[in-house]
Amino acid sequence: MGMTLTEKLLARASGRTAVFAGENVWVNVDILMTHDVCGPGTIGIFKREFGKGAKVWDRKKIVIMPDHYIFTTDALCNRNVDILRDFVREQGLPYFYDIIDDPNGHWKFDPSKGELKRQYGNSYAGVCHTTLPLKGHTRPGEILIGTDSHTCTAGAFGEFATGVGNTDAGFIMGTGKILLKVPETMRFWLEGALQPGLMGKDVILHLIGDIGFDGATYRAMEFVGPGASALPMDDRMTIANMAIEAGGKNGIFEADQKTFDYVNERTAANGTKKDYEPATPDADAKFVYNKKFDLSKLEPTVACHPDPGQRKLAKELGHIALDRAYIGSCTGGKTSDFLAFARVVKGRKVKIDTFGVPATTQIVRELQTMTLGGQTVWDIIVAAGVRMTENAGCAACLGGPVDTFGRMNKPMKCISATNRNFPGRMGHRESQVFLASPATVAASALTGKITDPREFWT
Ligand code: SF4
């Protein structure tokens, strides 16, 4: 019997010729990522179990990035970043994307400088899942584990990527290994091309709506077919990112020339490991689910409150009046996301409070230099009335402390380019979050109601 792509990767990483769904295997990890929320706990477990003076298993395989609760005056959150810095210094870790430049300094957010202007040094990068590929830490064929559920984003690059808790991460820190149950694979065969105004976000919201928000629990979601190959890397990232929103263990695309070009460019630019060995699934692999989807038939899609499986079409929701719009996060805060948003709002004004948070500092720079019709993308969005911050990070995607930029501190209805909408996710427990593509968020910000972006798409 043949193996799926996920089985192939787990077989190789466990030193076996074959593994199949349901088996438990010890897997060698290529990259361990952690951030300011889970890093301190992971470090604590590592030290408790391996000893105060223990050294990590491989300095070059650990990537640490503060990104979640950064731009806040909450002293405990600021302290978390300092704990990461102390650990990085003690262990001599090369891949730490610190918020400040002084390796002996302390981080303190200064609210008197305002929320919009940059408050970070030169090493800071931004949201972990967007930063990993941008900084050359994602490679086809590898195993990437992170202390964050959306680590599955890296499956866009033909690797096995999944999120774990602090205990597993602490163990990996000491040994480089993790015990994993091989997931069953669901195959999503994509064909046809997306209509103008549709994005990767519409694809994944459609698929999750089809199977439900628990429809892929502990399963691999494998995205294949000509429709998958035609998607740009950013769309593949958006789709793999939300595999966890259906309960998936991982989401994965087969690596192709687009993947190789993207990865080769980033590893060369950042001096990270260049070599990798992609894997391909066997033709006779066994799937627990196998379904075709015609992308040309999709329409702008929204996941309604209170979970990512509540699928509706944007055009059916014009009766829902909104208080707020939000574009940002590892799902909807990439350059291509803001570009789609700008195409919709160019020369127009938003009607409701709208917040923009680029995922990474590199994206901030790109938006401030890339032009559309003679104006920078950044300026187009600001001119439309959007509050754009240079302080790239997770911001209100995960609610965060009360002073977090864009957080909903009272009950409201928000349309958001983020990935999760369980009650309380973006702040107040009684607020409602509607998940949509950046284009749909933009069109809805212009009208104050959920709106199909094709009305404004040019
Ligand atoms: S942007 Fe949101 S989903 Fe992504 S890592 Fe940050 S909190 Fe998590």
Continuous segment of H or E residues that includes residue 219: strand 219-224
**Cα(394) to centroid of ligand 1, in Å?**
5
DSSP for residue 68: S
Mutating to test ligand 1, I would choose from 33, 65, 129, 242 the residue with most ligand atoms within 8 A of its C-beta, which is 129
Q: Which is it for the CA torsion 51, 84, 407, 347, positive or negative? A: negative
Cα R_g (the chain), whole angstroms: 21
Separation of alpha carbons 362 and 344, rounded Å: 23
What integer is the mean pLDDT of 275-299?
A: 98
Q: Chain-wide mean pLDDT for the chain?
A: 98
**Cα(330) to centroid of ligand 1, in Å?**
6
The pLDDT of residue 458 is above 90: no
The set of protein residues with a Cβ atom below 6 angstroms from ligand 1 is 68, 127-129, 148, 150, 329-330, 394, 397-398, 418-419
Q: Could you give phi then psi for residue 19, rounded to 5 degrees?
A: -135, 155
**Cα(67) to centroid of ligand 1, in Å?**
8
Separation of alpha carbons 433 and 416, rounded Å: 7
Separation of alpha carbons 296 and 276, rounded Å: 34
| Per-residue confidence band for 152, with pLDDT thresholds at 50, 70 and 90 | very high
The pLDDT of residue 1 is above 90: no
Q: Which fold has domain 301-455?
A: Aconitase; domain 3 (3.30.499)
What integer is the mean pLDDT of 327-350?
A: 98
Separation of alpha carbons 286 and 78, rounded Å: 48
The pLDDT of residue 398 is above 90: yes
Kindly list the distances between the CA atom of residue 369 and the CA atoms of 117, 130, 290, 346, in Å, as whole numbers in the listed order: 16, 19, 43, 16
What integer is the mean pLDDT of 163-183?
A: 98
The whole-number pLDDT of residue 269 equals 98
Query: Pick from 20, 27, 287, 25: which is nearest to 142 by CA?
Result: 27
Q: Which fold has domain 1-298?
A: Aconitase; domain 3 (3.30.499)
Ligand 1 atom with least separation from CA of 67: 6
The protein residue with its alpha carbon nearest to ligand 1, atom 1, reads 329
Kindly list the distances between the CA atom of residue 441 and the CA atoms of 202, 345, 402, 434, 435, in Å, as whole numbers in the listed order: 12, 10, 23, 9, 8
* Amino acid letter for position 147: T
**Cα(419) to centroid of ligand 1, in Å?**
8
Residues 38-68 have pLDDT tens digits of 999 999 999 999 999 999 999 999 999 999 9
What integer is the mean pLDDT of 88-107?
A: 98
Mutating to test ligand 1, I would choose from 397, 405, 420 the residue with most ligand atoms within 8 A of its C-beta, which is 397
Q: Write out the DSSP string of 14-37.
A: TT-S---TT-EEEEE-SEEEEETT
Q: Could you give phi then psi for residue 237, rounded to 5 degrees?
A: -65, -45
**Cα(152) to centroid of ligand 1, in Å?**
12
Mutating to test ligand 1, I would choose from 35, 419, 421 the residue with most ligand atoms within 8 A of its C-beta, which is 419
The whole-number pLDDT of residue 407 equals 98
**Cα(333) to centroid of ligand 1, in Å?**
10
Domain boundaries, the chain: 1-298, 301-455
* Prediction pTM value: 0.99
Identical topology for domains 1-298 and 301-455: yes
The protein residue with its alpha carbon nearest to ligand 1, atom 6, reads 394
What integer is the mean pLDDT of 261-276?
A: 98
Q: Could you give phi then psi for residue 12, rounded to 5 degrees?
A: -60, -45
Strands 311-313 and 301-303: antiparallel
The pLDDT of residue 184 is above 90: yes
Q: Tokens 């998940």, residue?
A: 435
**Cα(331) to centroid of ligand 1, in Å?**
8
Separation of alpha carbons 248 and 235, rounded Å: 18
- Cβ atoms within 10 Å, residue 305: 17
DSSP for residue 398: G
DSSP for residue 415: E
The protein residue with its alpha carbon nearest to ligand 1, atom 2, reads 397
DSSP for residue 426: T
What integer is the mean pLDDT of 251-278?
A: 98
Kindly list the distances between the CA atom of residue 425 and the CA atoms of 116, 410, 431, 440, in Å, as whole numbers in the listed order: 22, 13, 9, 20
Separation of alpha carbons 36 and 81, rounded Å: 6
Q: Write out the DSSP string of 128-139.
A: HHHHHHHTT---
The protein residue with its alpha carbon nearest to ligand 1, atom 4, reads 330
The whole-number pLDDT of residue 19 equals 98
Contact call for residues 193 and 231 (beta carbons, < 8 A): no
For the CA atoms of 357, 361, 363, 369, what is the dihedral angle to 10 degrees?
110
Q: Tokens 């290994």, residue?
A: 177
